[in-house]
Amino acid sequence: MSPLALVAQDLEHAPATESIRESDLRREVAVLTSDRMAGRLAGTSGNRLAGDFIGDRFAQLGLTPLGSSDYRIPFNLIEPSLDNTGDQRLTINETVPTTFTLGHDFYPERFSASGEQSGTVVFLGFGITAPDLRHDDYGDYDVNKKIVLVLNHEPAENDQSKSFDHTKPSEYARSVRKAIEAQRRGAVAVLLVSDTHNHDVASNLDTAMERAWPGRANRAPRYELGAWVEQIYIPTIRISTTVADQLAAHGGTTLSELAVLAESEDFRPHELDTSVTVKTQVSRRTVAVDNLLGLIEGRDDSLRHEWVIVGGHYDHEGATGTNVYHGADDNASGIAGILEIAEAFSLASLAGQSPSRSVLFAAWNAEERGLLGSWAYTEMPITPLSDTVAVVNLDMIGRNEEIPAGRSRRFFGLPPQPAASNINSVNILGYSLSNDLRNAAVAANTVDLTLQFRYDHNQSNLLRRSDQWPFLARGVPALFIHTGLHPDYHTVHDSADKLNYEKMTRIVQFAYQLAWNLSNANERPALNRTNDQP
């Protein structure tokens, strides 16, 4: 699409912009950060109260519900646990069987099903099938009733000239997707091992086991997405490099030599002359939670089936005793912004100025647990993702970015900078994937913000750390509006009194103008290239 196609639409000032007021944003943030919301942790009563508040506001604004009458669209979280740790088993079936130790040599993945399977082992490289990238580790090899051994991550991880996205592993590298693909092809179990040629890892799994299956309960539960886990019915286990080398030896090779094969353009599956028995016992506790979705319907008969999504997450980190993680910036600020944008669209529609396309307002849940609400939506969208024109995601829009000096892991990859240097700045991410959306953002900036286009390929991985990412991964153009991290990020000090409400008001007005332009443009924005699509 020509960059001018959207710009031409931007001459129209979005109606009812004046309804987006600092006083309203303050009031909504105050409700969402109140002690009775208890930090809005997914799966808690405080999270449910926050959803009630958002649903009530959607109803007051006259948005059309798309599921239940209270705007809730349920999805499942899974909290797995290991059953009977003494009965988890991995054995190489030799004349004298070799049995390995849980936690040191192997452990079930958190998304693994329970079951016992035996079969011959075949090395499948990275276990990736990516038709759009013309990459298929399986080829025409039949893995039916076999146990597949696959490497972590993806090929050519350190080679920027190759086809995968190398800023961080692509969606194809996600372990649960590899297990689903192996199962689809008939494998009876999956063994995953670290790609030691790209990453330094221990030869045993002692530390990794504690991360995957901690001995003490975390403050916030470790959830998996039901839409993925519920698909898997075969055992999937992580094995140490020592175990992988023992398996490779049966095929007359080593794990290092197999890794070299996996990186080659003419890779073919490599049979290992051995069989193993795998037994897993994993319980799955289902926790039902909700996204909240409300629609402003478009007026144009030919365009109303196309949607612009304006969204952000409403969950946060909960509470510990008397310490409440109020999450004012993260992300009461974004939800307040969404409610104000919804009000502006509603008022415009009541005045006979409905947008041409429909606009979906989304309050995603369980973002802090791994973007699980937005991933759940992309797994079962209300309307086909091909009809989603663009996504505008608001997450942490209330502060000035402040990165302290030092090597804190919380700010990895971000250059040190004082808050004063970002007093008028807002970061726009996703810009490198769509020139059209970048141009649209620039054209919508009628409120004199300093738009920063700087973090798409930053080591901080910010592009993949909020709810625009599942849409980008599925090929939907999306932008992330974000004022940046700061020392109060994910601490009990992220409180409502620290938000810059004047700047936040202008950011919400900017986001509204952007959404208005996208919902009325003659043409839809395009991605610059085909993105990673699992």
> What is the spatial distance between Cα 530 and Cα 32, in angstroms, rounded to a whole number?
38
Q: Are residues 40 and 119 in the same domain?
A: no
Mark which of 280, 310, 329 sits at the end of a domain.
280
Summarised one tens digit per residue, pLDDT across range 311-330 is 999 999 999 988 999 999 99
Res 85: pLDDT: 79
> What is the spatial distance between Cα 262 and Cα 123, in angstroms, rounded to a whole number?
9
Tell whether 456 is covered by a domain.
yes
Q: Are residues 351 and 429 in the same domain?
A: yes
Residue 528 has pLDDT above 50, yes or no: yes
Q: Are residues 223 and 326 in the same domain?
A: no
Tell whether 115 is covered by a domain.
yes
Q: CA triplet 463, 447, 437: central angle to 5 degrees?
A: 35
Q: Are residues 46 and 177 in the same domain?
A: no
Tell whether 437 is covered by a domain.
yes
The mean pLDDT of the chain is 94
Q: Are residues 123 and 198 in the same domain?
A: yes
Instruction: Supply the range of the domain harboring residue 66.
Output: 4-75+287-520
Which ranges constitute the DSSP H helices of 35-105?
45-60
Tell whether 101 is covered by a domain.
yes
CATH code of the domain containing 485: 3.40.630.10
Q: Are residues 210 and 347 in the same domain?
A: no
Q: Are residues 94 and 240 in the same domain?
A: yes
Summarised one tens digit per residue, pLDDT across range 409-427 is 889 999 999 999 999 999 9
Tokens (6 digits) for 173: 């590298």
Q: Are residues 441 and 314 in the same domain?
A: yes
Would you place residue 86 in the very low, low, confident or very high pLDDT band (cuts 50, 70, 90)? confident
Mark which of 228, 263, 280 sits at the end of a domain.
280
Q: Are residues 243 and 349 in the same domain?
A: no
Summarised one tens digit per residue, pLDDT across range 227-254 is 999 999 999 999 999 999 999 999 999 9
Res 405: pLDDT: 92
Q: Are residues 244 and 98 in the same domain?
A: yes
Tell whether 272 is covered by a domain.
yes
As a whole number, mean pLDDT of residues 189-217 equals: 93
Tell whether 531 is covered by a domain.
no
Interhelix angle for 45-60 vs 333-350, to 10°? 20
CB neighbour burial string for 355-393, b if at least 16 within 10 angstroms, e if fewer: bbbbbbbbbbbbbbbebbbbbbbbeebbeebeebbbbbb
Tell whether 151 is covered by a domain.
yes
Q: Are residues 163 and 57 in the same domain?
A: no
Q: What is the pTM of this model?
A: 0.95
Q: Are residues 407 and 340 in the same domain?
A: yes
Mark which of 262, 280, 298 sits at the end of a domain.
280
Cβ pair 121, 147 in contact under 8 A = yes
Res 529: pLDDT: 64
> What is the spatial distance between Cα 434 and Cα 50, in angstroms, rounded to a whole number?
33
Number of domains in the chain: 2
- The one-letter amino acid at 6: L
Res 133: pLDDT: 84
Tell whether 530 is covered by a domain.
no
CATH code of the domain containing 174: 3.50.30.30
Summarised one tens digit per residue, pLDDT across range 342-368 is 999 999 999 999 999 999 999 999 999
